[in-house]
Amino acid sequence: MNFHHRFEYGVGEFVGELLKEYNILELYGQTFLDDKITYYSTVMREVRHLDRNALPYQNPVQKDHMLVSLGDIKDAEPMYVVAVCEKNSKKL
C-alpha cells in the first residue's frame, strides 16, 4: 500500500469503476507479485488440491516492469494495472 494514496483499487474494483464510463479494450499488469504469498491464491490452491509451493504454469511475470496482458497470467497479482479504454458511447 502506498501511504500517499487514500485508497487503492483491487483489479476487480478498478475494472468495475472503469466500466461505468468506458469500454475496456485491453488490460495489462505490471510488477507481478509471487502468487504463493497471497491469501487468495493459497486458498485456491487448497481447493484445487495443488501443492501450495508449486507453480502450476511457467510463470511469465519475471519481466521486470514490462507490461504483460492479464489474459496471459494465472494466479498472480499485478502490483499495477494499466487499462486501454475508449469512452462508452452510451454515456455521451
Residue 28 pLDDT more than 80? Answer: yes
Looking at the 3D structure of the chain, how many domains does it have? 1
Write out pLDDT tens, residues 67-92: 888 888 766 677 788 999 999 987 55
Q: What is the rounded end-to-end Cα distance, in angstroms, of the chain?
A: 34
Tell whether 1 is covered by a domain.
Answer: no
Tell whether 6 is covered by a domain.
Answer: no
Q: Which domain holds residue 73?
A: 11-91
Q: Go through the chain and tell me how many residues it has.
A: 92
Tell whether 79 is covered by a domain.
Answer: yes
DSSP letters for 15-67: HHHHHTTEEEEEEEEEEEEPGGGSHHHHHHHHHTT--TTS-SS--TT-STT--
Kindly state the percentage of the chain with pLDDT values over 90: 24
Cβ atoms of residues 75 and 67 within 8 Å: no
3-state secondary structure 39-53: HHHHHHHHHCCCCCC
Rg (C-alpha) for the chain, rounded Å, is: 15
Tell whether 3 is covered by a domain.
Answer: no
Tell whether 64 is covered by a domain.
Answer: yes
Residue 55 pLDDT more than 80? Answer: no
Tell whether 2 is covered by a domain.
Answer: no
